[in-house]
Amino acid sequence: MSKDVRGTYKAQSAAAGARSGSPKASEAAESSRKERRPRTKMVPVPSESIIPERDAGKSPVLECRHLGIDFGGLRAVDDFNLMVGRTEIAGLIGPNGAGKTTVFNLLTKVYQPTRGTILLDGMDTASMDTAKVSQAGIARTFQNIRLFGSLTVEENVRIGLHTQIPCGMWSGMFRLPRHWLSEKEFHDRSLELLDVFNMADNANDIAGSLPYGAQRRLEIVRALATNPKLLLLDEPAAGMNPSETAELMDNIVRIRDTFGIAILLIEHDMDLVMGICEGIAVLNFGKIIAKGTPEQIQNNPQVIEAYLGKQDAEQGGE
């Protein structure tokens, strides 16, 4: 087995390519991903983080200071320090059970932290609940898809939009002009957002009837509808075949460029992580063990050990 993290996952994605029956598609996706790999210059910032040079001098969109949560005796996340630049695509990786989803649950206040601080755009989120954090600018997708399966695609997007376009109770009850204007705004904006993933033609389809990859894309569109500053994606490529994953990578970069937002993603597909993330943090047993650029992370001995286990990592180095 190859000794670097990328090599380890190359073996896995090759297996995935073989499972999907399209080794050629896998190879083509692989080489086009390599071409796309960003060469962002990263600059150091306080708290041992790095952010893209273009975001330097602006306040980070997210700053976590000594963040942690305990479940009984389990320190699921501990001393988690991270900054994410305003237009950065950042990655959070680590073995199963490392605490990655728990970090997202802390950022979105599904869990209240046991200790530490979360600053969103410089604002302390300590007193905020899930709805407030969403209004303040954090949106997320889930490891297991959470859509309203019996509603249409457009209705799912509208749920996200509802927090954005105000329409008062009276104008709704009496169908005043403001209500109709909002309806048109909702419809137009929904289609515009769906178009990001070429899904406008599916607007009237039942969400639950969409293929798996399309449901994952719809979840991202719904998250975007809340007009976030920071989009959290929990394993967006899970269950996707290599060509869907390659397309997703393009779309994540396009979303960042089009909306000018930051994206923090959790992913086990190392081709995706190393292909589009500018800064990466590695979590193991609830603690960050490494931060750096894709190149730095791939060659970090502690990261290799965390993924392969000490013995295998040593054998791989022989």
Binding site residues, Mg ion, CB under 5 A: 101, 143
Beta carbon nearer to Mg ion, 140 or 158: 140
Q: Specify the length of the chain in residues.
A: 318
For 145-160, the DSSP string reads ----TTSBHHHHHHHH
Find the binder of ligand ATP among 23, 44, 46, 97 (CB under 6 A): 97
Is position 102 an interface residue for ligand ATP (rule: CB under 6 A)? yes
Find the binder of ligand ATP among 96, 127, 204, 311 (CB under 6 A): 96
Burial 241-261 (b: 16+ CB within 10 A, else e): bbbbbbbbbebbbebbeebeb
Please tell me the number of Cα atoms within 13 Å of 219 on its side-chain side: 26
Q: Which of these, 41, 10, 16, 71, lies nearest to 243 by C-alpha position? A: 16
Beta carbon nearer to ligand ATP, 96 or 204: 96
Q: Could you tell me the smallest distance in angstroms from the CB atom of residue 133 to ligand ATP?
A: 18
90, 265 Cβ separation under 8 angstroms? yes
Find the binder of ligand ATP among 99, 113, 236, 294 (CB under 6 A): 99
Binding-site residue total for ligand ATP (CB under 6 A)?
12
- Amino acid making up residue 50: I
- Location of structure tokens 């980070």: 60
Query: Which of the listed partners (ligand ATP, Mg ion, none) does 300 bind, with a CB threshold of 5 to 8 Å by partner kind?
Result: none
From 43-51, 98-106, 160-168, 242-250, give the range in contact with ligand ATP by CB under 6 A: 98-106
From 11-19, 90-98, 165-173, 216-224, give the range in contact with ligand ATP by CB under 6 A: 90-98
Burial of 313 (0-12, 13-18, 19+ CB in 10 A): buried
Query: Which of the listed partners (ligand ATP, Mg ion, none) does 31 bind, with a CB threshold of 5 to 8 Å by partner kind?
Result: none
Residue 130 CA: distances (Å) to CA of 105, 237, 304: 9, 25, 35
Question: Would you call 136 helix, strand, or coil by DSSP?
Answer: helix
How many CB atoms neighbour CB 283 within 10 A?
24
Beta carbon nearer to Mg ion, 143 or 171: 143
Binding mask 137-166 for ligand ATP (x = CB under 6 A): ------x-----------------------
What is the four-CA torsion angle of 248, 249, 255, 258, rounded to 10 degrees? -120
Burial of 184 (0-12, 13-18, 19+ CB in 10 A): exposed
Query: Which of the listed partners (ligand ATP, Mg ion, none) does 168 bind, with a CB threshold of 5 to 8 Å by partner kind?
Result: none
Is position 71 an interface residue for ligand ATP (rule: CB under 6 A)? yes
Beta carbon nearer to Mg ion, 75 or 187: 75
Q: Could you tell me the smallest distance in angstroms from the CB atom of residue 97 to Mg ion?
A: 8
The structure tokens listed for 318 are 């022989």
Q: Could you tell me the smallest distance in angstroms from the CB atom of residue 285 to ligand ATP?
A: 9
Q: Could you tell me the smallest distance in angstroms from the CB atom of residue 82 to Mg ion?
A: 16
Query: Which of the listed partners (Mg ion, ligand ATP, none) does 99 bind, with a CB threshold of 5 to 8 Å by partner kind?
Result: ligand ATP
Is position 94 an interface residue for ligand ATP (rule: CB under 6 A)? yes
Q: Which residues bind ligand ATP (CB under 6 A)?
A: 71, 74, 76, 94, 96-102, 143
